[in-house]
Amino acid sequence: MPGKKATKTKKGAKILVVEDEKALNDMYRMWLEAHDFEVVTADNGVTGIEKAIHEMPSLIVLDVLLPKKDGFEVLSELRGNPKTKKIPVIILSSLDQDFEQRQGLHLGAEKYLVKTNISPDILFETVSNLLK
């Protein structure tokens, strides 16, 4: 479509945040909106997949421990769908073991961040670097 790009860079890019904890979902949304990103949210894996397909975000921030489908299942489905397979995904999880991190990266996530180490600056820097 003329004038509309599925993937924009930096400011104004659409980010899908898939996080079931409302307080964290709201916090990530506020952090990203403060940097002029458009944010769409989902609170479970099934809705996350649906919104990824229908919204075509520039990037997805994905929790692992989600109801209905966990983040690894969501990531696997996104990578298996021709429409969503190239959308960059950042896993943002409380699971911080090497096994989970390796699994997330093996399934196709660009970055795996641990919630206890996250800050607005780290999230913004990671998102910006992946959208360049």
Q: How far apart are CA 75 and CA 71, in angstroms?
A: 6
Amino acid identity of 8? K
pLDDT at 31 over 60: yes
CATH superfamily of 14-131: Response regulator (3.40.50.2300)
Residue 68's pLDDT is: 94
Q: What is the DSSP letter of 86?
A: T
Asked whether the beta carbons of 88 and 129 are under 8 A apart, the reply is no
Cβ neighbours around 106 below 10 Å, total: 10
pLDDT tens digits along 87-96: 999 999 887 7
State pTM to two decimals: 0.88
pLDDT tens digits along 45-82: 999 999 999 999 999 999 999 999 999 999 999 999 99
pLDDT tens digits along 110-122: 999 998 888 888 9
